[in-house]
Structure 1
Amino acid sequence: MNIVIIRITLVMLILFCIKTSAQDTLPNNRPLPGWIKPYKAEVAYDKTTHILFPSAIRYVDIGSEYIVAEVAGDADNVLRVKASVPDFEIETNLSVVTHDGRFYSFNVHYNANPIVTNYDLLKVQQEESRKLGSDVLLRELGNDPSSLVGLVMETLYKKDKKVVRHIGSKSFGIQFLLKGIYIHNGKYYFHTELRNHTHVPFDVDFINFKIVDKKIAKRTVIQETPVIPLRTYKNQDGVGGKSTDRNIFLLDRFTLASDKMLLIEIFEKNGGRHQVLQVENEDLIRAKLISDMHLRF
């Protein structure tokens, strides 16, 4: 009798465990809500795997000593991963937390010749919404993701508005204009236009931004401070005969003392039709606020 009771108890216990186990998964073998599905990643000993996240990386944890991981320099949302030993057979894992509060999990396998070495975690979302795209956050751009900066530049370029009308240079049939100065999140956007009124192409050697003293701006410059653009909308190699070309330059915010001015110089390759724009502090402080222009990003 006792044996029968024990057997019945064991059967009931087994049935209870089966029922409980079944309740731990959703229909169609889907995991419970809150279960984070890990990504699959392959690493090699002689190759580096790069993983692009939608936000800056805050925390990284590796599951074993078989792999090493580090943030890629100034790109705060790019993680470099490699195998620390060749040909490891055991699966390991990698966990990452980003500044936007998201948690990512990876199951990592060794492959001496991985098919994929660059992983973009938001490629699908980027197609749905550009704001959710895979942006490399560079420290030089501050809090602006690179896609937002690129989108602002693209919008200004396509709108092609002329909000500055008094800054220009013209000689030898070449005209160089500053069409606008804009500001957004502590960054300047300079919109320039190069017109060639001749049939002779103008090949650009280089474009230079620098701060100089007003009293020597028209002479040989001795005291000058270079201003390096953070980003350029496109490469500007030149402009053909009877043609026009424009560009957008991204610069860090700055102001000028009363005895200083900003020079924007464009030099012709193997030629002498150089052009110079002179920008004063009054022009900078009148920069058009991007948000006031009702641009759609």
Structure 2
Amino acid sequence: MRIKTFISLFVLFGALFGNAQTDTIPVSRDYKTILVLPGIFDFSINGKELNFIESFPVKNASDNAKRIVLLSYNDVAPDTEDHTNYTVYTRDGLAYDFILRLVEVPVKKRWPITKSMSENLEAFSKLKDSTNISTSVATPKPPMERTDIATRTKEEELGVSPNEETTEEPLPLTRELYVLDRMEYVRRRCYYNQFNKGKVIRYFAKYDDVFLWLENVFYENNEIYLQFRLENKAHMPYDVNFLKFRIASNYRNSPNNIDKKHEPLFRYKVPKRVEGNSENYFMVVFDKFTLDRKKVLMVNVDEDKGNRNLSLDIDHSVINNPLAFKL
């Protein structure tokens, strides 16, 4: 009896160990690890984005290129052992969870990902089924609002086909979706509101002809959404090295100055590059927070291989008085 129990436990732990190995992606400094996703890449959550670097193939018309993610480790990082969490969402709303681990030479460099590896496939199937049942009676679509037209125009300006995401049947922004998959709800909320007309009056930072504009601050459920516009009026492209947030005293030289990192919950379409004479809209989402009168939210944009760095202080009166979404 003890022998059978031992064998059963050995098989069970062996299976669990095998699954853990499958979910661990080796990443190195000198090689590119290639993830081939089953759907078009939408966004990712990277626990150590400054160490485990994410890049993509050169933009082209091929849908295959939009399903590929290239991973490597920062060659200037001093670490010899490192790992982090990494979650990838595709545009159909499915999520894939991995552990990225630093290795010297990856045994496997190309990783085909299948839908069966999704963490929320079963839950999304149930939600879609329930949505189809509740909407079995066809209802006329509401007329397109001006914000929708503006969104499509901006997508065309940024070189994104307006049909890429609108061909997808979106899940409704319901409480059920929020409870089922909070990050997917937040992503869709960002998608629908990324090009909203700015309500915050002349809140910006600039360096020469590069501007960082705060367009809107929204609150919904337990999240604060900041909508930004990064505008480059210069001829030379602006490459983003990093975007960081901190909560600090509004009296920089005060001996009681508090300066601490404030990590976002979610980043939506933060640009890697803004071409000359163009602009990019993006959103950053935080768990609910407020500021007292002596604090500001500092936003720092660092230019890669350049010095056109931007620093924007957002006052407590802006953070503490957010707008509500219209839809």
Q: TM-score range by the shorter chain?
A: 0.5 to 0.7
Amino acid paired to 1:154: Y
Deviations 1:61-102 (A, max 9, x none): xxxxxxxxxxxxx9xxx9x9xxxxxxxxxxxxxxxxxxxxxx
Give the structure 1 partner of residue 187 of structure 2.
150
Mapping 1:5-20, distance limit 5 Å: none
Distance across 2 between alignment mates of 1:206 and 1:115:
31
Amino acid paired to 2:171: R
Structure-2 change in CA distance of 1:240 and 1:279 (3 Å)? same
Say whether residues 1:201 and 2:201 are aligned partners: no
CA drift at 1:192: 0.4
Give the structure 2 partner of residue 266 of structure 1.
301
Is the Cα contact below 8 Å between 2:173 and 2:185 reproduced in 1?
Answer: no
Give the structure 1 partner of residue 146 of structure 2.
none
Say whether residues 1:189 and 2:193 are aligned partners: no
Structure-2 change in CA distance of 1:47 and 1:180 (3 Å)? same
Distance across 1 between alignment mates of 2:261 and 2:252:
15
CA drift at 1:230: 0.5
Distance across 2 between alignment mates of 1:156 and 1:208:
22
- Between 1:124-133 and 1:205-214, the stretch displaced more is 124-133
Structure-2 change in CA distance of 1:276 and 1:116 (3 Å)? closer
Amino acid paired to 2:208: F
Distance across 1 between alignment mates of 2:316 and 2:275:
33
CA drift at 1:136: 9.6
Amino acid paired to 1:123: S
Distance across 1 between alignment mates of 2:215 and 2:173:
31
Structure-2 change in CA distance of 1:170 and 1:123 (3 Å)? same
SS in 1 for 2:289: coil
Structure-2 change in CA distance of 1:184 and 1:195 (3 Å)? same
Q: Which runs of 4+ in 1 moved over 4 A?
A: 114-119
Give the structure 2 partner of residue 285 of structure 1.
320
Q: What is the aligned-residue RMSD (CA, Å)? A: 3.8
Larger Rg: 1
Distance across 1 between alignment mates of 2:222 and 2:180:
10
Deviations 1:239-262 (A, max 9, x none): 011110111101111111221111
Mapping 1:1-297, distance limit 5 Å: 45=15, 46-47=18-19, 116=116, 118=118, 120-121=121-122, 122-123=124-125, 125-126=127-128, 128=132, 130-131=171-172, 145-158=182-195, 160-216=196-252, 223-290=258-325, 293=326, 295=327
Bigger relative CO (Cα 8 Å, ≥ 6 apart): 1
Distance across 1 between alignment mates of 2:177 and 2:261:
26
Structure-2 change in CA distance of 1:132 and 1:207 (3 Å)? closer
Is the Cα contact below 8 Å between 1:193 and 1:246 reproduced in 2?
Answer: yes
Q: Percent identity?
A: 20
CA drift at 1:228: 0.5
Structure-2 change in CA distance of 1:117 and 1:260 (3 Å)? closer
Is the Cα contact below 8 Å between 1:213 and 1:261 reproduced in 2?
Answer: yes
How many residue pairs match? The answer is: 183
